Amino acid sequence: MGDRPIQRDFLNQVNQYLDKSLSMDEEQKFLIEMRKDPMLKDMVNKEQTFRNFIKDNVPRRKFSPDLIEGIMRKIDTTS
């Protein structure tokens, strides 16, 4: 990715932006920076794609109604 080495601060900013952990001021500055820097924009896009991929593809387990019923029964008898 690009010619310049990736600085930790640079990646931290990308992560904090995508994880919604920047303050409003920091986010504004970051967005201005991103418009000026194609490498930053490219990195944000890649990291966003990776996060979306994980979120969409981790198989979700489903708790069966029988188990819920069992828990409710147990609660009934213990309380």
Partner 1 sequence: MNRNEKEKIFKEEILPYADALLTFGYHLTLYDSSAEDLVQITLEKAWRNIEKYQLGTNAKAWLFTIMRNAFINDYRKKAKQPTVIDIDEAIINTDEENNGPLSSYVDLREEMLENLMGDEITEAINSLAIDNRTAILLCDVEGFTYEEIAKITKVPVGTVRSRLHRARNQLKQKLKEYAENLGYKDNRTNS
Give me the residues that bind partner 1 (CB under 8 A), please.
Answer: 1-3, 5-9, 11-12, 15-16, 19-21, 46, 49-51, 53-55, 57-63, 67-68, 70-71, 74-75, 78-79
Closest CA to 15 of 36, 53, 46: 46
| Contact yes or no for 43/5 (Cβ under 8 A) | no
